[in-house]
């Protein structure tokens, strides 16, 4: 068992993909997991999965973290139930993709709301209640570090670049309270949200063309790192972004 035993871990986007995997793996490590998802049935499916393994997922669905009132309520619900926050894993996100000339203003606002506002609102309301030695773990992306011709992602690149930069600032502001802030920037990971790209052979091949390990990432590849970074074993790590991309940025 890691040093996550009995830690209160809040994970957003627990309804599928990386969030569902994180809920399961953190609970297996002894953490008390409080999650949320926009879609209630998806959150419940993860809760049912954990229950089948003798574990528990707290929290609820129908939580829109792009709405500050929803974000504040999610944080307060966790505090009312457990009294503190040890780890905040800002995982939930949603984006629209397209080349700039075809990208609408609505697409831009949708992406910034669901990839950047999510992180700010949840962190803002959690921040005063994060325990000494606590961790804010944000989900970045390799889109913060490079462009690609595989698919247009101007808004996604902007928001994830902002998340990585915000993480560094959170580390600076949190140091005096012994709060660490780190981010993880995955490459292309197989999740429900990326299924449309995987189903297109041409796009899939473009995405794989620069990956040294010649495979798509799995949610477990990301969550294994997240568990370490959230634990006390990583107590000297803050302000850094960790890339999980199969070697894509090395080419």
For the residues 117-146, what does the mean pLDDT come to?
97
Task: For the chain, give every domain's residue range.
Answer: 8-189+218-244
Q: Return the bridge partners of 59, or none.
A: 35
Please tell me the predicted confidence (pLDDT) of residue 242.
Answer: 98
Question: Domain 8-189+218-244 has what CATH class?
Answer: alpha beta
How far is residue 71 from each of residues 32, 76, 225, measured CA to CA in Å? Answer: 19, 9, 25
Nearest CA-CA partner of 142 in 34, 20, 244:
244
Mean pLDDT across the stretch 173-187?
Answer: 97
pLDDT of 138 > 80? The answer is yes
Cα separation of the two ends of the chain: 37
The contacts found for 213-216 with CB under 8 angstroms, 24 or more apart, are 213/246, 213/247, 214/246, 215/246, 216/188, 216/189, 216/190
Q: How far apart are CA 45 and CA 67, in angstroms?
A: 23
Residue 107 predicted with pLDDT over 80: yes
Q: What is the pTM of this model?
A: 0.94
Answer whether residue 122 shows pLDDT above 70.
yes
| Residues forming a β-bridge with 165 | none
Res. 79: pLDDT tops 60? yes
Q: Is the pLDDT of residue 61 over 90?
A: yes
**Mean pLDDT, residues 34-51 taken together:** 98
pLDDT tens for residues 156-171? 999 999 999 999 999 9
- pLDDT, tens digit, for every residue of 15-35? 999 999 999 999 999 999 999
Q: What is the mean pLDDT of the chain?
A: 94
| Residue 201: pLDDT band with limits 50, 70, 90 | confident
Cβ atoms of 87 and 230 closer than 8 Å: yes
Q: Is the pLDDT of residue 150 over 70?
A: no
């Amino acid at each position: 068992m890691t040093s996550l035993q009995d830690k209160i871990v809040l994970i957003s986007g627990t309804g599928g993909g990386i969030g569902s995997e994180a809920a399961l793996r953190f609970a297996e490590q002894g953490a008390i997991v409080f999650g949320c998802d926009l879609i209630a049935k998806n959150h419940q499916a993860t809760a049912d999965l954990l229950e089948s393994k003798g574990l528990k997922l707290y929290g609820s669905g129908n939580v829109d973290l792009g709405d500050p009132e929803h974000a504040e309520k999610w944080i307060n619900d966790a505090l009312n139930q457990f009294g503190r926050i040890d780890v905040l894993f800002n995982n939930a996100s949603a984006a629209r993709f397209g080349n700039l000339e075809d990208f609408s203003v609505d697409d831009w606002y949708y992406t910034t709301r669901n990839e950047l506002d999510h992180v700010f609102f949840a962190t803002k309301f959690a921040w005063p209640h994060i325990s000494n030695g606590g961790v804010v773990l944000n989900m970045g992306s390799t889109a913060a570090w490079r462009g690609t011709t595989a698919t247009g992602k101007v808004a996604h690149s902007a928001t994830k670049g902002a998340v990585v930069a915000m993480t560094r600032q959170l580390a600076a502001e949190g140091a005096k309270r012994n709060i660490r802030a780190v981010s993880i920037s995955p490459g292309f990971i197989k999740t429900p949200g990326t299924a449309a790209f995987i189903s297109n052979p041409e796009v899939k091949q473009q995405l794989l063309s620069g990956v040294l390990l010649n495979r798509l990432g799995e949610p477990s590849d990301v969550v294994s790192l997240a568990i370490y970074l959230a634990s006390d074993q990583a107590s000297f790590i803050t302000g850094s972004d960790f890339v999980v991309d199969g070697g894509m940025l090395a080419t």
